[in-house]
Chains A and B, each alone.
Chain A
Amino acid sequence: MANDKEKSKSEGEPTESKVDTSRPREPSFYEAQKGWKSWAFTLDHKRLGVMYLLSTMIFFFIAGMSAILFRTELLTPQGDFLPWLNQQLAGMMGQPISIEEAAAQSGTTYNKLFTVHGAVMVFLVIIPSVPGALGNFLLPLMLGAKDVAFPRLNLASFWIYSLGAIFFLYTLFMGGLDTGWTFYTPYSTNTGTAVISATAGAFILGFSSILTGINFMVTIHKMRAPGMTWYRMPLFVWAIYATAVIQVLATPVLAITLLLLMVERTLGIGIFDPAMGGDPVLFQHFFWFYSHPAVYIMILPGFGIESELIAVHSRKHIFGYKAIALSSVAIAIISFVVWGHHMFVSGQSELAGIVFSFLTFAVAVPTAIKVFSWVATLYKGSIAFNTPMLYGLMFLFTFTIGGLTGVFLGTLSVDVHLHDTYFVVAHFHYVMMGGTIIAFIGGIHHWWPKMFGKMYHEGSAKIGALLVFVGFNTTFFNQFVMGGQGMPRRYYTYVPQFQEQHVLSTIGAYILAVGLLWTATYLLYSLRKSNDAPVADNPWGGASLEWQTQSPPIEHNFHDTPRVTTGPYNFPQIDRTGEVDGH
C-alpha cells in the first residue's frame, strides 16, 4: 500500500542512486536478441518504440531544417536568400542560371519549404511521435502487460508508417509539394507538383495511425494487469486511450478525403473542383472533420506526459485525477464537433459559424481544468528541478499561452481579423511545439534511463532546456503581435513594416535549432559504451509500474505479472499523518 513509507534516510543519500540488487539482473530486451532481423521483424513493443523514436527524430530534423531555410529567407522583406540558394544549387548541378531565373523559381521554393515543414511535422512527426515512441514503449509497461494486444499488427503499423514516409521522401525528391499541409482544393487539384504521391503517403500513414489506435484501445481494454482498474491507470494511459479513440474514429474520414482528392486530381470526378462542378468548401469540411480531431491526436499524448512529469517530480498525488482523465475523454468527444472553426471566413453559413464557435468554447473548459490541476499538483509537493521537470514546467508556461490565444481564434469577430495571419501560426506552434513537442522532449528525458539504461549529462540538459525555452518564445511570441497587425501567413515576401519582428523570429528559430541539436547531441552521446554508470531502475521515484521493472526492461517486461493494489501516484513521500496538510 501507499502508506508503507520507507524509513527516512539520512540526507545526501537520495533514492536516485539506488540500484536494486535484490535480484540478479537479467539481459535487457536489447541483449535478449541480436542482429538486424531482431529489429526489422521484432514483435517487441519496446523495440518498436525505439524505432519510432529514431524515425520521428529523423523527420523532425528534416522538417526543422526546412523551417530554418524559410525563416532565413524571411529575414528580409523581399526574396533574396532562396534565389541565391537556388542559383548555388543550380550551379552545383552544372546548370548555372541567372539570379533573375533563380528568383522566378523561388516563390515556389518557399511554398515547398513550408509545405514540407507542415506536412512532415504533422503526419510524420507529431502524430506518430508520442503514441509511436513513448506510447509503444510505455503502454504495456504501465499496464503491467507483456506486450500490446496485437504485436504483429504493431510491427505492421511501423512498416506501414515507413512506407508512408517513403512516399513523402519520394515526393521531396520528385520536386516537392506546394499545396500546404492542408491540401486545399482546387489548388491541390490544379498545381503541377507531386500531390498524388504526398496524399498517397498521408493515406498510408493514416492506416498506420488507425492500426496503432485499434491496438492501443484493445490493449487498454483487455491487457491490464490484475488489480489495474481504470482509475488506477496512469494518466498517460488515459491520454493515449483518448488519442486512440480519435485516431480510430477520425482517420478513416481523412483516408476517404485523400482518396477523393486523388480521384479528383486524376479523374476529375467533380466533387471538390468547381471547374468540374464540385464544391471546394466541401473539401474543407471533410479535411477539418479529420484534422481538427487530429490536433487533439497531437496534443492529448502531450497532456499525458505532462501529468506524469508533474506528479513524479513533485512526488505528489496528481490533483484531480478523475477530472484530468475524464477531461481527456471529453476533449476527444467535443473535438469531433468543432471543425467548422477553421472556416469562419470561408463562406459557410453564419449559423454554422455561431454553432462551431460555441462548441469551440466548450472544448476550452476541460483544457483549462487540466492546466489548473497540474498547477495545483505542485502545491505542497517536493519539486525537483531536474531536466524532465524543467520541460514539464516549460510546458505549463507555453501551453497556457497556446491555450489562451485559442480563445481569440474561437471568438467569431476577432477570428475574422486573425484568421490566416501569423497569430494563427503562433497559436498552433505554442500548442503543437510548446505543448506536444516540449512535453515529448520532457518525456524522453524522463524515460531515457528506462528506455536505454543510460543517464545523460544533467548540466548539458539544463543548458539545452534553456536554449529551447528562449529560442521557442523568441521565435513565436512576437508572431502574435505580427498577426494582430495583419501579417498574413504563408508569405514569401512581406511589407517592410514587419521586418523587425521577422528578424526577431528568425533569431529565435536559430536559437531553438541550436538548442534542439544540442539536446540531440548530448542524448546520443549518453549512449556511448563508456557511459556505463549503473542507472537505477527507478531514478525519479515514480510509483507507476514501468518503474518497478529493471532499466532497460527485460524482454517480457516483468519477472512476474504485477498485481496492482493502488493508484499510480501514491508516492512513499506522501504524508498521511496530516502533518503537512496542517491538521
Chain B
Amino acid sequence: MILSMFMGPPTEAAQEVAKNTETVATVEPPWETLHSWAPLPEASTFAPGTETLYMFIVWLSTFFFVVVMGAMFWFMYRHRRRGDDDKTSSITHNGKIEFLWSAIPAVLLLVVFVWGELDFIKQSVLPPDAIDIRITGRQWSWTVEYPDYPGVSFTSSTETPEVVMMVPKGRPVRLTMTSTDVIHSFFVPVFRVKRDVVPGRYTNLWFEATQVGEYNMYCTEYCGEQHSKMTGVVKVLEPELFEAALLEAGKLERGDGEEDKVYGARIYKRRGCDACHSTDGLAKTGPTWKGLWGRTETMKDGSTVTIDGAAGENYISESILDPNAKIVSGFGGAQMPSFRGQLSDEQIKALIAYMKTL
C-alpha cells in the first residue's frame, strides 16, 4: 500500500495518505500542487525567522524604490523640457543631503546585516540531541541513511518523485552530507535550509520541522545532465508515527514471498540505478539493462565480456561493487560510484534476476 504510494506522482500519493492513513489527521497537500503565487509554507523552526526578515527587506526595498522612483517621476514631470532655452539649476552638490543618504541606508543595512547574521548563527549551531541522518549525493540521486536505524535507507529516483527522507515533526534533525562525485546542494524550500554537498568533505545542516506534510527537496548546485531530476520528497510525520513509518518504508527488505525479480525491480528504482541505466533500450549515462543478459559487450580496453551464466553474474556483481574495473566502450563520461556495503549479496542477486527479465 505504502509502496504504491511511492510510485505514483505526489498528488496521488497525498490523496492516498489522506485516504489510507486515518491516524494522520491533517496532511498538507504537497506544496507543489499549490498555486504558484501562493505563499511558500513555513514548515521549520527557521522558516518564520527567515520569512520575517525577508518581508522586512521587501518592505524596506519597496519604500526606497517608491521614494526614488517617486522623485524620479515627479522630476520627469515637473522639470520636463519645455523649450530649448530652459534654464536649469546651478546646484552641484549638497553636503548635508549627501551625508544623510549615505548614513541612513548604512544604518538600515547594518540592522539587516546583524539580523541576518543572528539567524544564520542559530542555523549554524548544531543541536546535541538530534536525529542523525547521513546523506550521500551522487549524479543523479540522493541516498539518505539513518545511522540510528540500521538498514533504513532511501534513494531518490530521476523518474518519479520518491520520498527520500522521513522526519518527525517537532524534533531537530541533523544532516551529515557528502558527495561521491561532484558538488551538489541540499535544498528544502519550505524549511528555508540549504547546504552544499561537497565531495571529499562533510557538511552539516540541521532543522526542526513544524508542519506535517510532503515537501519537495532539490539539488541546487548544478551537477550535470539530470541536475533538474535530482529531486525528492521530504515527508514530515507526527512524532508518534515516525518510527514505525520509517522502518516500514525505509527498509528495502524482501516482502513476504516476494520474487527475486520483483524485489530487484524495486531495488532498481529505490537505489537510483534508474538514473543512469534504462530498461527500455535507451543508452543513458550507463548502458541499458534491456537485453543486457546474454549480450556481448566490448570494453574500453578492447576485451569482450559475454554476460551469461556464472561469468555474467560475476561481471555484473563486479560492476556494482567495483564499477570502474571494466567499462563498456562508449561510456565512462560520468563515473558510477561503488555500491559496496550498500547492496547485500542477496539484493545483487535480486537485481540480476530482474535484469534477466528485461
Judged by a CB distance under 8 angstroms, whether A316 is at the interface is: yes
Q: Which of B54, B72, B82 has the most CB of A within 10 A?
A: B72
Q: Are A357 and B65 in contact (CB under 8 A)?
A: no
Task: Report Cα–Cα, A364/B88, bound state, in Å.
Answer: 30
In angstroms, Cα B68 to Cα A397, docked, is 9
A320 to B93, CA, bound (A): 5
The answer to whether B136 has its CB under 8 Å from any CB of chain A is no
- CB pair A414–B57 under 8 Å, yes or no, is yes
Contact size range, A: 35 or more
Residue ID in chain B nearest A412 by CB atoms: B120
Q: Which residues of B lie under 8 Å from residue A580 when comparing CB positions?
A: 87-90
In the complex, the answer to whether A186 meets B182 with C-beta atoms within 8 Å is yes
Contact call A393/B98, Cβ cutoff below 8 A: no
Q: B residues within 8 A CB of A407?
A: 57, 60-61, 109, 112
- Residues of chain B within 8 A of A411, CB atoms compared: 53, 57, 112-113, 115-116
Asked if A450 lies at the interface with its beta carbon under 8 angstroms from chain B, I say no
- Looking across the interface, which residue of chain B has its beta carbon closest to that of A482? B36
Interface residues of A in 367-384 (CB under 8 A from B): 368-369, 371-373, 375-376, 378-384
Residue of B nearest to A401 (CB): B65
- A14 close to B84 (CB less than 8 A): yes
Decide if A579 is an interface residue (CB 8 Å cutoff). Answer: yes
Residue pair B50, A104 in contact (C-beta under 8 Å): no
Contact with B along A309-341 (1 / 0, CB 8 A): 000001111111111000000000000000000
Q: How far apart are the CA atoms of A274 and B335 in the complex, in Å?
A: 14
The segment out of B144-152, B194-202, B307-315, B350-358 that lies at the interface is B194-202
Which of A9, A369, A414 counts the most B-chain CB atoms under 10 A from its CB? Answer: A414
How far apart sit A583 and B120, CA to CA, in the bound complex (Å)?
53
List the one stretch of B216-224, B242-250, B257-265 in contact with chain A: B216-224
Q: B238 contacts the other chain (Cβ, under 8 Å)?
A: no
Residue with the highest number of chain B CB atoms closer than 10 Å, among A14, A385, A408: A408
Query: A residues within 8 A CB of B225?
Result: 107-108, 111, 178
Q: How far apart are B2's CB and chain A's nearest CB, in angstroms?
A: 22
A579: which B residues are within 8 A, CB to CB?
87
* Chain A, Cβ-Cβ closest to B63: A404
Identify the closest chain B residue to A404 (Cβ): B61
User: Which chain B positions have C-beta within 8 A of A421?
Assistant: 220
B121 A350 Cβ-Cβ under 8 A: yes
Known contacts A393-B72, A412-B117; A345/B227 CB under 8 A: no
Given A383-B81, A486-B216, A581-B89, A417–B196 Cβ distance below 8 Å? no
Whether the pair B88, A416 counts as a contact (CB closer than 8 A) is no
Q: Which residues of B contact A358 (CB under 8 A)?
A: 113, 117
Min C-beta distance of B327 to chain A, whole Å? 13
A349 to chain B minimum Cβ distance, whole angstroms, is 9
Q: How far does the alpha carbon of A275 sit from the alpha carbon of B198 in the complex, in Å?
A: 12
Q: Given known contacts A378-B75, A417-B54, A481-B37, is B85 in contact with A368 (CB within 8 Å)?
A: no
Contact between chains at B54 and A414 (CB < 8 Å) = yes
Contact with B along A483-508 (1 / 0, CB 8 A): 01110111111111111110000000
Contact of B84 among A15, A101, A365 (CB under 8 A): A15
Contact check, B53 vs A414: say whether CB atoms are below 8 A apart. Answer: yes
A8, B86: Cα distance in complex, Å: 9
Q: Which of A350, A365, A385, A495 contacts B106 (CB 8 A)?
A: A365
A8 partner residues in chain B, CB cutoff 8 A: 85
Note all chain B residues with C-beta closer than 8 A to A578: 90
Residues in B whose Cβ lies below 8 Å from that of A408: 54, 57, 61
Cβ of A31 under 8 Å from chain B: no
Docked-complex contact A413 and B86, CB < 8 angstroms = no
* Residues of chain B within 8 A of A15, CB atoms compared: 84
Contact in complex: A274, B32 (CB < 8 Å): no
* A353 to B123 alpha-carbon distance, docked (Å): 13
Q: Which residue of B lies closest to A421 (CB)?
A: B220
Residue of A nearest to B113 (CB): A361
CB neighbours of B72 from chain A (8 A): 375, 378, 393, 396-397
A51 interface residue (CB < 8 Å to B): no
Residues of A within 8 A of B222 (CB): 111, 180, 184, 187, 489-490
A419 within 8 Å of B (CB atoms): yes
Residue in chain B with minimal CB distance to A419 = B194
A400 and B97 within 8 A (CB): no
Please indicate which of the listed interface residues A11, A416, A494, A581 has the most CB atoms of chain B within 10 Å of its own CB. Answer: A416
Whether, in the assembled complex, A268 has its beta carbon less than 8 Å from a beta carbon of chain B, the answer is no
Tell yes or no: B299 within 8 A of A by CB: no
A252: interface (CB < 8 Å): no
A316-B88 contact in complex given A365-B106, A416-B123, C-beta closer than 8 Å:
yes
In the complex, whether A534 has a CB less than 8 A from a CB of chain B is: no
Asked whether, in the complex, the Cβ of A416 is within 8 Å of the Cβ of B194, the reply is: yes
B88 in contact with A186 (CB, 8 Å): no
A101 to B36, CA, bound (A): 32
Stretch at the interface among B17-25, B162-170, B280-288, B340-348: B280-288
Q: Which residues of B, 31-67, contact A by the 8 Å Cβ criterion? A: 31-37, 40, 46, 49-50, 53-54, 57, 60-61, 64-65
A368 touching B102 in the complex, CB below 8 Å, given contacts A111-B224, A279-B200, A493-B228: yes
With beta carbons under 8 angstroms apart, the residue of B220, B228, B334 that contacts A492 is B228
- Which residue of chain B has the shortest Cβ distance to A186 in the bound complex? B182
Contacts A190-B334, A381-B89, A499-B36 given; indicate if A347 touches B203 (C-beta within 8 A): yes
How does the 8 Å CB contact mask read for A271-301 relative to B, with 1 for contact and 0 for none? 0001100111100000000000000000000
Residues in A neighbouring B115, C-beta threshold 8 A: 411, 413
Contact stretch, chosen from A121-129, A255-263, A436-444, A569-577: A569-577
Distance between Cα atoms of A384 and B13 in the complex (Å): 61
Bound Cα distance from A369 to B106, whole angstroms: 10
What residues on B are CB-neighbors of A376 within 8 Å?
A: 94, 97
In the bound complex, residues from chain B placing their C-beta under 8 Å from that of A416 are 50, 120, 123, 192-194
Bound state CA distance, A339 and B94, in angstroms? 33
Taking the complex as formed, is A458 at the interface, i.e. its CB lies under 8 A from any CB of chain B? no
Whether A488 contacts B187 by the Cβ 8 Å rule is: yes
- Expressed in whole angstroms, the Cα–Cα distance for A314 and B80 within the complex equals 8
- Cβ contact of B182, chosen from A187, A368, A410, cutoff 8 A: A187
A226 within 8 A of B: no
B133 interface residue per 8 A CB criterion: no
Residue interface mask A182-210, B partner, CB < 8 A = 1: 00101100111000000000000000000
Across the interface, which residues of A come within 8 angstroms of B54, CB to CB? 408, 414, 417, 484
A315–B91 alpha-carbon span in the complex (Å): 12
Interface centre among B190, B227, B334 (most CB of A within 10 A): B227
The answer to whether B120 and A413 touch across the interface, beta carbons within 8 angstroms, is yes
Specify which chain A residues have a CB less than 8 angstroms from the CB of B203 in the assembled complex. 347
Nearest chain A CB to B47 CB, angstrom units: 9
Q: Is the CB of A274 within 8 A of B109?
A: no
* Extra inter-chain contacts (17) besides given A365-B105, A382-B88, CB under 8 Å: A14-B84, A186-B181, A187-B182, A274-B201, A275-B200, A319-B93, A347-B201, A364-B105, A379-B91, A397-B69, A407-B57, A412-B120, A415-B116, A486-B40, A494-B228, A497-B33, A575-B88
Enumerate 27 A-B pairs (CB-CB under 8 Å) in ascending A order: A15-B84, A104-B278, A107-B225, A178-B225, A274-B199, A280-B183, A319-B91, A319-B92, A319-B93, A375-B71, A378-B79, A381-B75, A381-B79, A383-B81, A397-B72, A407-B60, A410-B113, A413-B46, A414-B54, A417-B193, A485-B40, A486-B187, A488-B219, A497-B36, A500-B37, A574-B87, A575-B89
Q: Which residues of A does B touch, CB under 8 Å?
A: 8-9, 11, 13-15, 100-101, 104, 107-108, 111, 178, 180, 184, 186-187, 190-192, 274-275, 278-281, 314-323, 344-347, 350, 353-354, 357-358, 361, 364-365, 368-369, 371-373, 375-376, 378-385, 393, 396-397, 400-401, 404-405, 407-408, 410-417, 419-421, 481-482, 484-486, 488-501, 571, 573-576, 578-581
